Amino acid sequence: MTRTFSVLAALVSLGMFASIAVGLWVFVTEDPLQKADIFLIHFVLGLTTALGILLVHCIIFTYFLGTGRWVKEVGIAYKLPDAGWPKLTRELKRSTFPPALFAMLFGIATAAAGAGAQLQAWHWSIHATLALATLFVNLWAFKIEYHNVAINAHVMQSVLDDVERIRAAQGLPSNAQALQEEAESSRGSV
Domains identified in the chain, total number: 1
The amino acid at residue 26 is V
Predicted confidence (pLDDT) at residue 84 exceeds the cutoff of 90: no
**What band does 189 get if pLDDT is binned at 50, 70 and 90?**
low
Q: Is the pLDDT of residue 39 over 60?
A: yes
Tell me the pLDDT band of 11, cut-offs 50, 70 and 90.
Answer: very high
Please give the pLDDT value at position 162.
86
Range of the domain at 81: 2-188
Q: Each residue of 159-188: pLDDT tens digit?
A: 888 888 888 888 877 777 877 877 778 776
Number of separate helices (H) and strands (E) present in the chain: 5, 0
Q: What is the pLDDT of residue 97?
A: 95
* Residue 135, C-beta contacts closer than 8 angstroms, at least 6 positions apart: 13, 16, 17, 20
CB 26 within 8 A of CB 42: yes
Q: What is the pLDDT of residues 45-79, one digit of tens each?
A: 999 999 999 999 999 999 999 998 988 888 888 88
CB atoms closer than 10 angstroms to residue 89:
24
pLDDT in tens, 153-166: 999 888 888 888 88
Q: How far is CA 20 from CA 42, 45, 87, 100, 114, in A?
A: 8, 9, 40, 21, 11
What is the rounded (10 degree) CA torsion for 164, 168, 169, 172? Answer: 110
Q: At 163, phi and psi to the nearest 5?
A: -65, -40
| N residues, the chain | 190
Quote the Cα angle for 44-49-55, to 5°: 130
Cα of first residue to Cα of last residue in the chain, in angstroms, is: 34
pLDDT at 190: 56
Write out pLDDT tens, residues 92-147. 999 999 999 999 999 999 999 998 888 888 888 999 999 999 999 999 999 999 99
* Those residues with Cβ within 8 angstroms of residue 157's Cβ, 6 or more apart along the chain or in another chain: none
